A and B are shown apart, each in its own frame.
Chain A
């Protein structure tokens, strides 16, 4: 184990500081590309291990988050290939384009967190339940459909509606704050 007198101690501290500072943005980035939390966590874990392993290649002063994201992005692609989902053309390009935009937003910080919380609390009970089932309990669409006795298409639609409402609300909130 590294001790403070070790030269590697400083390097380790540097790594941890950087990782800590960008942890949320990196996590959000990966979550955005992977539908299941457990998979996202696995990918994050692999990514962090790779980052540590190759930290010697990283030059201080350059953009740590960009580097971390690139590593994560490749982990996501590897993961998707492993799962052998039906091939969807251009999927990687779509992912890349979207993830680019997500990563810009993810750096906006914690004011958003409060805004999201306030907006979730304000949702009508029925919509809050959907959010709860889908995002907090991570239920599959099919299971939600069963539980609330609606069709899967209806659940997809309802979730889109809830998210649109939340987006509008969050935007208003953050505008009011800034």
Chain B
């Protein structure tokens, strides 16, 4: 083996890789051997590796402070990492304040120790919480209330729990958490075997795996194993259930209420509402038309014929997966343009995300949605109640048509993106191709088909949901159109 000075860049890189794996405990025998041999070769290798390690520790230790580019900013962002409260100022003497904090610390013994870290917070909105909600914060036992978005908590045992809003999670210890209501996905590495998630009446003990838990305060609980093995212990049941990959247990009919959330929701105004909310003149030639106007309609189709879609739901579901052929879902929107006066200059499609009650956001990365225009106008007259997988515009049973429209009858108008875990707010597509497509309409109705291009990472990934025209909380799908002067 060559001495360090003669090593090429790629050999050095490999050496560094081996070291990193060794330290992470995943090195192969050959890699372990390489590190030892190189280090045995002399001071050069040690010194070089030491420099590499030092740089890495600086990156980790100084963390976020390295991100800011201005020198003026103070180095410490927040004293997040437990003991760093003791890192006082860099003044020469510790000072009285420090002494006091030391004294206090001594007096109260160890303060509640951090048992977890909030490692990631994506598009998060937090409810009342005694715990810090800044990314990187150390978490002591307590409750996190996530209203919107997705957050990842890394327990010091190594277990990682992703909170999918809306959810309320109590951190009990480094080995235990309690879901008061909502959905979490836990990933538990071997060293954290035994990590436990409690819900009102159910206890889930993990044996090195990835699994999801949804719970509500009334005791309903759904446990779904994505990978590995968990044991489920339900209050009042003497037997402990063992669940393996792909299996689930559903107490209290959680799945049923998730598949059909409208069932227990008092629908204030069934059917069409907001008839006036169409063709509003916004000035400057801008007009808005929603799917609630005139011949407008919205629904979706899905490849599982057993799931009935009536078109009267308050949401529209979209999903793409190559892991289960029966779970593909495509959204259909029709807008009535018959009252549109003047030529279309610009156009924008606006949709509102709805909290989906199906699947786990953790399993779907940032997602791209493609919007297609139905070019075969003879199919514009589809009916909400009759729209089915077997019978939908620009759709056939061919393989190509499974996850997108039949391209002989439709064309791509553009795409929009939804960040991972986001389940609220508006998304929009503004593209000259959309305006073009609207201009070409000759029968007063246009049909848009929305498909998710992004696959799920594993089974049970999130099904995206958008507000339909029947939704009373969110705006229906709408087209914003600017027309040229009268």
List residues of chain A with CB under 8 Å of any chain B CB: 1-2, 12-13, 16-17, 19-21, 23-24, 27-28, 31-33, 35-42, 44-45, 48, 83-86, 88-91, 94, 97-98, 100-102, 104-106, 112-114, 116-117, 120-121, 131-132, 135-139, 141, 143, 146-147, 149, 156-157, 159-161, 163-164, 166-167, 170
CB <8 Å contact, B98 and A163: no
CB <8 Å contact, B107 and A1: yes
Given known contacts A32-B56, A149-B365, A97 and B46 CB-to-CB distance under 8 angstroms = yes
User: How long is the Cα–Cα vector from A86 to B60 in the complex, in angstroms?
Assistant: 25
Which 6 pairs across A and B sit closest by C-beta, in order of nearness?
A101-B50, A16-B94, A135-B59, A31-B57, A1-B103, A160-B16
CB <8 Å contact, A116 and B55: yes
CB <8 Å contact, A131 and B59: yes
CB <8 Å contact, B457 and A135: no
CB <8 Å contact, B59 and A116: yes
CB contact between B102 and one of A16, A84, A100, A137 (< 8 Å): that residue: A16
CB <8 Å contact, A139 and B81: no
Residues on the A chain within 8 Å of B457, using CB? 146
CB <8 Å contact, B83 and A45: yes
B39 interface residue (CB < 8 Å to A): yes
CB <8 Å contact, B83 and A44: yes
CB <8 Å contact, A136 and B67: yes
B341 interface residue (CB < 8 Å to A): no
User: How long is the Cα–Cα vector from A27 to B23 in the complex, in angstroms?
Assistant: 18
Given known contacts A83-B191, A88-B32, A136-B63, A113 and B58 CB-to-CB distance under 8 angstroms = yes
User: How long is the Cα–Cα vector from A24 to B158 in the complex, in angstroms?
Assistant: 25
Residues on the B chain within 8 Å of A21, using CB? 92
A102 to chain B, nearest CB (A): 5
User: How long is the Cα–Cα vector from A105 to B46 in the complex, in angstroms?
Assistant: 12
15 A-B residue contacts at CB 8 Å? A1-B104, A20-B87, A21-B92, A28-B54, A38-B114, A42-B156, A85-B25, A90-B36, A94-B39, A136-B66, A156-B20, A160-B16, A163-B56, A166-B59, A167-B55
Given A28-B58, A97-B46, A98-B39, 11 other A-B residues pairs in contact with their CB atoms under 8 A = A12-B103, A17-B93, A23-B86, A27-B61, A32-B53, A36-B158, A38-B138, A88-B32, A98-B50, A116-B59, A120-B67
Residues on the B chain within 8 Å of A139, using CB? 119-120
B17 interface residue (CB < 8 Å to A): yes
Residues on the A chain within 8 Å of B135, using CB? 137
CB <8 Å contact, A104 and B36: no
Interface of A is mostly: helix
User: How long is the Cα–Cα vector from A91 to B24 in the complex, in angstroms?
Assistant: 12
User: How long is the Cα–Cα vector from A141 to B482 in the complex, in angstroms?
Assistant: 48
CB contact between B35 and one of A38, A94, A146, A161 (< 8 Å): that residue: A94
B99 interface residue (CB < 8 Å to A): yes
Total A-B residue pairs with C-beta atoms closer than 8 Å? 185
CB <8 Å contact, A12 and B39: no
Residues on the B chain within 8 Å of A17, using CB? 92-94
User: How long is the Cα–Cα vector from A139 to B16 in the complex, in angstroms?
Assistant: 19
Residues on the B chain within 8 Å of A101, using CB? 46-47, 49-50
CB <8 Å contact, A105 and B51: yes
CB <8 Å contact, B22 and A88: yes
B311 to chain A, nearest CB (A): 36
Residues on the B chain within 8 Å of A166, using CB? 55, 59
A72 to chain B, nearest CB (A): 13
A108 to chain B, nearest CB (A): 9
CB <8 Å contact, A160 and B13: yes
CB contact between A138 and one of B12, B24, B99, B154 (< 8 Å): that residue: B154
CB <8 Å contact, B365 and A147: yes
User: How long is the Cα–Cα vector from A28 to B67 in the complex, in angstroms?
Assistant: 18
B396 to chain A, nearest CB (A): 30
CB <8 Å contact, B69 and A121: yes
Q: Which A residue sits closest to B21, measured CB to CB? A: A156
B306 interface residue (CB < 8 Å to A): no
CB <8 Å contact, A159 and B63: no
Residues on the A chain within 8 Å of B84, using CB? 41
CB <8 Å contact, A31 and B55: no
CB <8 Å contact, B61 and A20: no
Chain B 406-446 interface mask (CB, 8 Å, partner A; 1/0): 00000000000000000000000000000000000000000
Residue with the highest number of chain B CB atoms closer than 10 Å, among A24, A156, A170:
A156
B116 to chain A, nearest CB (A): 8
Residues on the A chain within 8 Å of B93, using CB? 13, 17
A123 to chain B, nearest CB (A): 11
CB <8 Å contact, A37 and B21: no
CB <8 Å contact, B156 and A35: no
User: How long is the Cα–Cα vector from A117 to B71 in the complex, in angstroms?
Assistant: 9
Residues on the A chain within 8 Å of B92, using CB? 17, 21
CB <8 Å contact, B60 and A37: yes
CB <8 Å contact, B119 and A164: no
Q: Which A residue sits closest to B363, measured CB to CB? A: A146
Q: Which B residue sits closest to A31, measured CB to CB? A: B57
Residues on the B chain within 8 Å of A27, using CB? 61
B302 interface residue (CB < 8 Å to A): no
A140 to chain B, nearest CB (A): 8
User: How long is the Cα–Cα vector from A37 to B16 in the complex, in angstroms?
Assistant: 20
CB <8 Å contact, B67 and A167: no
Residues on the A chain within 8 Å of B392, using CB? none
CB contact between A38 and one of B17, B68, B117 (< 8 Å): that residue: B117
CB <8 Å contact, A136 and B64: yes
Residue with the highest number of chain A CB atoms closer than 10 Å, among B24, B50, B64:
B50
CB <8 Å contact, A116 and B50: no
CB <8 Å contact, A135 and B52: no
Given known contacts A1-B106, A28-B57, A114-B71, A39 and B20 CB-to-CB distance under 8 angstroms = no
B88 interface residue (CB < 8 Å to A): yes
CB <8 Å contact, A106 and B16: no
Given known contacts A98-B53, A137-B135, A116 and B66 CB-to-CB distance under 8 angstroms = yes
Chain B 276-316 interface mask (CB, 8 Å, partner A; 1/0): 00000000000000000000000000000000000000000
B9 interface residue (CB < 8 Å to A): yes
